[in-house]
Structure 1
Amino acid sequence: MSTPSYHPAAVALQAVLALANETEREVADRLGLNLTDYRALSTLSQSGPMTVGNLAVKLGATAATTTAIVSRLQSRGYAERLRGEGDRRHVHVSATAAASRDIMNLMRPLMDATNRHLESLPAAQQDAVAGFLHTARHLMQNHLNTLSTKDTA
């Protein structure tokens, strides 16, 4: 049985994804976190304050598991629980400013190098790269949704 031939860009994207996973593990390790806790912290850092329930949905975890994750992050000074101003029963979780800064400090060299490279490209190429990545993100989200749906069926 022969292996299908894929476009070099599709193969390169698979390699980028593998490196992204390795980078994520290394950043988690540098912060002294396991990968699951780092993913929660990263989500909070990128998305801003949210309820534990919303964080659980984003992580694909149960509320109980996510509560434990948040407690671990909070005990390390990486997350904080914020009570609602109007209704104290509403609790939002947020990455601390220091945690967001720590993540950015670890990712800044890659982000800066990527930004410099993109800015060196002609505008049409910049637009093509952005369009491709936007489409790839949607394709990946659709694939993830399909995989997740198969797990529950």
Structure 2
Amino acid sequence: MAGEHGASTAERVLAAMPDWGHAISQLNALIADRMGVTVSDLDGLDALAKHGPLTAAGLARHVDLTSGSVSRMIDRLDAAGCVERVRDSADRRRVLIEPTAEGLDRIRSYWAGLAACTLDDLAEFTEDELAVVRRFIAKARESTTTELNRLRRGQAT
């Protein structure tokens, strides 16, 4: 169904997404700056929070960075008090990168305001509408990952 200036509802949703993505990027940049790290470092901290302690190589795979870049990431996160290097209890030769409680608390505190506002926003929707939103987010994430992988393989648009 056409709406504003002949655009379908789907086209208007698509047109609104870059502004939302940009706002989230700006928020991440501000949080990273205040924590004394980079936006990529926040991605690393998020990967550690979701997947538990990882080796540097494991972290590199999750954030798609080189070993050298991840080494510098770990140094910055360590200096900021967000991670620590710990010996693997199963193999004392291996070093695992583990998020600290302080680091996770800091990132949660920065996101708490937006999380509260978003919960308030979502309260305006019915359960059925929220199911549709969740389905859309899952599909959009899948499409984004597919496009990211396609571009990484060097395929032209």
TM range (shorter): 0.7 to 0.9
Residue deviations 1:49-105 (CA, integer Å, cap 9, x gap) = 111111111222111221222122212321111211121122221211111111110
Letter in 2 for 1:87: D
Conserved? CA contact 1:52–1:67, under 8 Å:
yes
**Structure 1 residue runs of 4 or more that deviate by more than 4 Å after TM superposition:** none
Query: Which shifted more, 105-114 or 60-69?
Result: 60-69
Classify the secondary structure of the residue corresponding to 1:104: helix
Given the two structures, how large is their TM-score scaled by the length of structure 2? 0.85
Given the two structures, how large is their TM-score scaled by the length of structure 1? 0.87
Conserved? CA contact 2:36–2:80, under 8 Å:
no
Separation in structure 1 between the aligned mates of residue 121 and residue 52 of structure 2, nearest angstrom: 28
> Where does residue 82 of structure 1 map in the other structure?
86
Classify the secondary structure of the residue corresponding to 1:150: coil
> Where does residue 21 of structure 2 map in the other structure?
17
Separation in structure 2 between the aligned mates of residue 123 and residue 69 of structure 1, nearest angstrom: 40
Residue 47 of structure 1: CA displacement? 3.1
User: What RMSD, in angstroms, separates the aligned Cα atoms of the two structures?
Assistant: 1.8
Residue 18 of structure 1: CA displacement? 1.3
Conserved? CA contact 1:119–1:126, under 8 Å:
no
Conserved? CA contact 1:40–1:55, under 8 Å:
yes
1:39 maps to which of 39, 43, 50: 43
- Percent identity of equivalent pairs: 25
Residue deviations 1:121-151 (CA, integer Å, cap 9, x gap) = 1111010111111111111111111111117
Residue deviations 1:9-68 (CA, integer Å, cap 9, x gap) = 111122211111111101101112222323322332343211111111122211122122
Classify the secondary structure of the residue corresponding to 1:33: coil
